[in-house]
Structure 1
Amino acid sequence: MPPKSAAIAAAPASSAWSIFWIFLRLGLTSFGGPIAHLGYYRNEFVLRRAWLDEARYGDLVALCQFLPGPASTQVSFSLGVLRGGGLAGGLAAWLGFTLPSALLMFSFALGAAHLAGPSAAGVVHGLKLVAVAVVAQAVWGMARTLTPDRQRIAIALVAIGIVVMADGPAGQLTAIAVGALAGHRLCRGTVAQPVGQLSMPVSRRAGWAALVLFALLLLALPLLAGLAAYRPLTLFDAFYRSGALVFGGGHVVLPMLQAETVATGWVSSETFLAGYGLAQALPGPVFAFAAFLGAQAGMTAGAPAGAALALLGLFLPGLLLVYGTLPFWDSFRRHAAARRAMMGANAAVVGILAAALYHPVWTGAVFDIRDAAIALGGFMLLAVWKAPSWIVVILSAAAGGLLATV
């Protein structure tokens, strides 16, 4: 009798349509953020459906956490590739998982302009305070995981200094590059050898094509956007660059997108933070926040087009990277130098997110002691009592609305 892993590998492929419906259900019910999503996937595809075994699932998660981009979405995309036998299955999984939260964020963008009155303004302000609590929890958790020693704490502190002195995308990119170089030099003796093996139905030629396309878009889009001065191209470029630089988790997209949308005047700081706060209450990927921002930024040229371009731009680099890396992962991950560089880059990300926690998140939402109390209460609910994000969103929005009327 063949081993279980061999039986799983030989299982017949599913149609893209059936994969879409499976992930659509998950997209409607998967609350709790990226870490919770990985638990949902394990229950659904390892324990219940037996699409793959524990070892292969763990290796897949390790790959997606290593790469820039939204890890939980990259895992879902890769599961679709595995089960569907190629790219069509991956795209079906991505679309099904992303569509519900993207449509909800787009609807909120259309309705936000019609919110009026003290109570509505208070609710929006409460959503901004949710962002304070969520980002504080992310910094707290990521610092414990990604900066556990003095070398990586130092890298995070240097990253804070870099982004404070050089605000915007250039400062963030510099901080990540410096962190990667410092990690390569300083994080010796802390890298464990990987275990397991990951085999996926992606050819090396297809992998190289995806990686080359990723690099071409990253280099060419800023040049084309500068030459053409075409608003949709500029919008797509801004979100693509943000998605390409998201190391360490979905919450890291906040400072990236803030630099691209708020600093450029496309979206106000208040609207940005309110939308990010609401995104915490929804199922599915945090990156669906792009639909809200794209609709807001594209109001003059068409909200649906802006939302679609922003969503595609933010998700595309992560999907290209994971698809391109799948055929090479087993050999690449055994290079200690690459893993050390990623450890340094992740430590720098902690510094970038910590700087964003102060500005714009804290400075844009906390104006008095009552705001601070709501934000602190939300943080305690998330970090200490482990409350679901959607409960914190409801309570903070209600508190904001109530305080606005007294």
Structure 2
Amino acid sequence: MSKHKANRGIKSLIEILFVSTRLGLTSFGGPIAHLGYFHAEYIHKRKWLDEKNYADLVALCQFLPGPASSQVGIGIGVIRAGILGGILAFIGFTLPSVITLILFALIVQGLDIANAGWIHGLKIVAVVVVAHAILGMAQKLTPDVKRKTIALLALLATLLWQTAFTQVGVIIISAFIGYYIYQQQKESTESVMPFPVSRRFAVICLGLFFGLLILLPVLSEVTASRWIQMFDHFYRSGSLVFGGGHVVLPLLEREFVLTGWLSEEAFLAGYGAAQAVPGPLFTFGSYLGAVMNGWQGGLLATVAIFLPAFLLILGALPFWDTLRRNPKINGALMGVNAAVVGILVSAFYEPIWMSSILEPLDFAFAALLFSMLVYWKQPPWVIVVTGAMGGLFMTFF
């Protein structure tokens, strides 16, 4: 029996690595688009989580600092196959982008691929994937007028006041509204989120997160080591970001360009490349590390900028699962999940729609891809390949 269980565990780990790597190779379009790809693959196709658990996980990761889509992927991996499953889910989703950007830093810094036609096609793919995910989540998470209203208010707030703290503020306010409106109402379906991490381990992770945040600057000053200074800069940037991957850019610019570690030109070239590759935007740090200290610097930067995301999700989820079973907390979550729908719609408009649908031909192509995904049931990788080829073809018109 134990041998059978071990084989099943190994099979789950291999499956997680395979599926997450495929997502890492095809998930273009930024963090909100990634949530759409995750929903299509992990929830709709493989049913590793139900809609309620996925929505709760997304809500938590939107609230925590760090790369939300990466944290959602890590959380799904941990729920599926423990801490090793979370590590493999992270490696699979992140490694293709890391390798590409480190190579770019070492070989082709002057190449302008951000404006290529196939990149524009992939942006249109992101529009389609996010639209499909939002429609599916909205049906489940905003079934009544009250929650539709919360989603609308969240949409208006995040669209009209685009600051780093608006999203967190909207989630907190929506939690209070949901707590007040739904505190006596139980969800019709009882969702169980199996999270194989003890509270003791979670406390250690949270202690390590805050400990490194305090200790690294001290070590950086005392040792004057360039490697420790780099780790400190990237770790702090990964710890203080609310609102998605794009918010990390000004933090990284302040840490490395304004302090003279690298030039503005090198920074902007890497930003263009980061937009053009799949996977999390935080791998822009891998490029910066490679520019400053070769491939070793790229790997160190990757570990440092993503480590806070790991520590926070492992530290928060064991307590989160207990809290969300409380009827009053569950009411707050109903409000938060409705707000997440509004936040996703806001992000769908700006930057995804505004940077992708520039003319009628773009809209027509998006409609074709949407039909392929939703009505003709084509898998996401087919949509990605068709989008890239179509974008290249549209450059001739």
**Would you say same fold, with TM above 0.5?**
yes
Contact 2:231 2:304 in 1 (8 A): yes
Pick from 339, 348, 365: which aligns with 1:348? 339
1:187 is the counterpart of 2:182: yes
Aligned length: 345
Residue 61 and residue 379 in structure 1: after superposition, are their counterparts in 2 closer, same or farther (change >3 A)?
Answer: closer
Aligned to 1:73: 74
Contact 1:269 1:364 in 2 (8 A): no
Identity among equivalent positions (%) equals: 24
Q: d(CA) in 2 for partners of 1:148 and 1:269?
A: 40
1:208-223 map, 5 Å = 208-211=203-206, 216=210
**Residue number in structure 2 paired with 1:150:** 145
Change (3 A) 1:207 1:236: closer
RMSD: 4.3
Amino acid at match of 1:137: H
Q: Retained in 1: the 8 A contact 2:147–2:338?
A: yes
Query: Per the alignment, do residues 42 and 194 of structure 1 end up closer, same or farther by CA in structure 2, a change over 3 Å counting?
Result: closer
Asked if residue 257 in structure 1 is aligned to residue 245 in structure 2, the reply is yes
**1:360 Cα shift?**
1.0
1:138 aligns with 2:133: yes
The one of 299, 315, 322 aligned to 1:320:
315
| 1:110/1:63 CA distance change after superposition, 3 Å | same
| Closer, same or farther: CA 197–127 of 1 in aligned 2, 3 Å | closer
The whole-number CA distance in structure 2 between the counterparts of 1:332 and 1:119 is: 44
Separation in 2, partners of 1:138, 1:62? 11
Asked if the contact 2:290–2:298 (Cα under 8 Å) also holds between the matched residues in 1, the reply is yes
Query: For residue 235 of structure 2, what is the aligned residue in structure 1?
Result: 236
Shift of 1:72: 5.3
Partner residue of 1:399? 390
SS of the residue corresponding to residue 169 of structure 1 reads coil
Q: How far 1:366 sits from its partner (Å)?
A: 2.0
Q: CA deviation at 1:392?
A: 0.7
Q: Distance in 1 between matches of 2:373 and 2:250?
A: 27
Is the contact made by 2:53 and 2:191 (CA closer than 8 Å) also made in structure 1? no
**Alpha carbons of structure 1 residues 359 and 101: separation in structure 2 relative to 1, 3 Å:** same
How far did residue 116 of structure 1 move? Answer: 5.7
Describe the superposition over 1:303-357 as per-residue Cα deviations: whole angstroms up to 9, x where unpaired: 33333333334343222222x43xx84x544311111111111111111111111
- The amino acid of 1:356's aligned partner reads A
Q: Is the 8 A contact 2:324 2:333 kept in 1?
A: no
Which deviates more, 381-390 or 190-199?
190-199
Relative to structure 1, the CA distance from residue 164 to residue 61 in structure 2 (aligned partners, 3 Å threshold; closer, same or farther) is closer
C-alpha distance in 1 between matches for 2:190 and 2:113: 57
**C-alpha distance after superposition, 1:198-228 (max 9, x if no partner):** 88775543344445556x479x57x979x99
Q: CA deviation at 1:166?
A: 2.7
Aligned to 2:38: 34
Helix, strand or coil at the partner of 1:192: coil
Q: Which runs of 5+ in 1 are unaligned?
A: 1-6, 44-53, 82-89, 246-254, 280-288
Compute the TM-score of the two structures, normalised by the length of structure 1: 0.68
Q: TM-score, normalised by structure 2?
A: 0.69
Cα distance 1:319–1:399, how it changes in 2: closer, same or farther (>3 A)?
Answer: same
1:182 aligned partner, one-letter code: I
CA contact (8 A) 1:103 1:291 kept: no
Equivalent of residue 176 in structure 1, options 148, 155, 171? 171
| Counterpart for residue 13 of structure 2 | 23
- Contact preservation (8 Å) 1:20, 1:96: no
Q: Residue 85 of structure 2 is aligned with which of 71, 89, 93?
A: 93
CA distance in 1, matches of 2:393, 2:76: 40
Distance 2:51 2:342 in 1: 27
Alignment match of 2:101 (pick from 109, 113, 121)? 109
8 Å contact kept, 1:194–1:333: no
Whether the 8 Å CA contact 1:240–1:313 is kept in 2: the answer is yes
